[in-house]
Each structure stands twice: as structure tokens, then as C-alpha cells.
Amino acid sequence: MNVVVRELPPQRVALLEYNAAGPAGAYSESIGRLFREVEGWLAARGYETDRLRRIGVSFTDGPTLLRYWCCIEAPADLPADDGPVRVTELAGGRYAVLSLVKVAATIGPTIGRFYSEYAPAHGLTPDDSRPPIEVYYAQTMDYCAPVKQ
């Protein structure tokens, strides 16, 4: 497994929230649509979104996905707005960053093995006070699991 433990800085993002209970790790077209809506919102304000990172934040209860934040990295000069897109800061801190190739069939099982095998074998204790963060790239993703000091 390709895992590096590091301190991540807080990250300012623009986001829309997806609300629907379902299995964690299940992709929904609604989530993709919300990412595109955030992109459109930023573009309408004059920002070029191609170089901005896409970030997903999942809030779960065991295997159930409760809600999911569809985020795009917010430019420093982006003002907060009263519209549906929120601008907020994701918590920084210590994270175990698991780098994965984006293959839907292997992502869930690999993340499961990270928690059941890798983390205990390497003395990593999940920090349940912060949600995991998923950073998306063209062919890969970083699954950032918050861990205690």
C-alpha cells in the first residue's frame, strides 16, 4: 500500500452538500452533478477551475453514507456568498494519505484493508473527530484518513 503520514494544512473550499443515506463508497450521479454545479458557480464568478483540486468529504455512520461534501479548492480571493454554494475551511492536521488508482472495483476494498490491516500494523489510530478527505486527480486519488498524533 502506498501510504504516507503527513500534516495537511487547512484547505479553503467551495462546496455543495449531497444528502442521502446509502452504502459508503457507492458513487451516485448526483454527486458528480454537484461537483459540476460548484465548477459552474466558480466559473460564473470568473475563476478558471481546471487547475483547482476536487475534494470529496464523506460523513458516515458505519457503512452508511449520511452526507458528502462536493468541494473544489477555493481561490484565496473568493468571497463568501449567500447562495447555495458554501465557502468553508476543511480541517488540517495529521493524515495517513493512501494514494490509489481510480478503479471503482478496487477503491473500497483497498480502503477497507487500510483500516483493518495497514493502520493497526503501523500503529495508526483513526481520529473520528475529523472526516476522511478524498482528493481527486485525473487518474488517481488520495484518500486522506485523519489519524491521532
Indicate whether 24 pLDDT > 70.
no
CATH code, domain with 106: 3.20.80.10
User: Would you state the pLDDT for residue 80?
Assistant: 80
58-97 b/e (C-beta count within 10 Å ≥ 16 → b): bbbeeeebeebbbbbbbeeebeeeeeebeeeebbebbbbb
Compute the mean pLDDT over every residue in the chain, rounded to the nearest whole number. 91
DSSP H helix total and E strand total for the chain: 3, 8
Domain region containing 48: 3-146
Mean pLDDT is lowest, of 4-13, 80-89, 123-132, for 80-89
Kindly report the CA angle at 116 between 114 and 118, in degrees rounded to 5?
45
Average pLDDT over residues 105-125: 94
**CA atoms within a 13 Å half-sphere pointing along the CA-CB vector of 33:** 4
Model pLDDT, residue 23: 61
For the ranges 19-23, 46-50, 94-98, the one whose mean pLDDT is highest: 94-98
Predicted confidence at residue 83, as pLDDT, reads 79
Q: What's residue 27's pLDDT?
A: 61
Q: Does position 120 have pLDDT exceeding 90, yes or no?
A: yes
Would you state the pLDDT for residue 60? 85
Residue 26, pLDDT above cutoff 60:
no
Number of structural domains the chain divides into: 1
- Per-residue pLDDT at 87 exceeds 90: yes
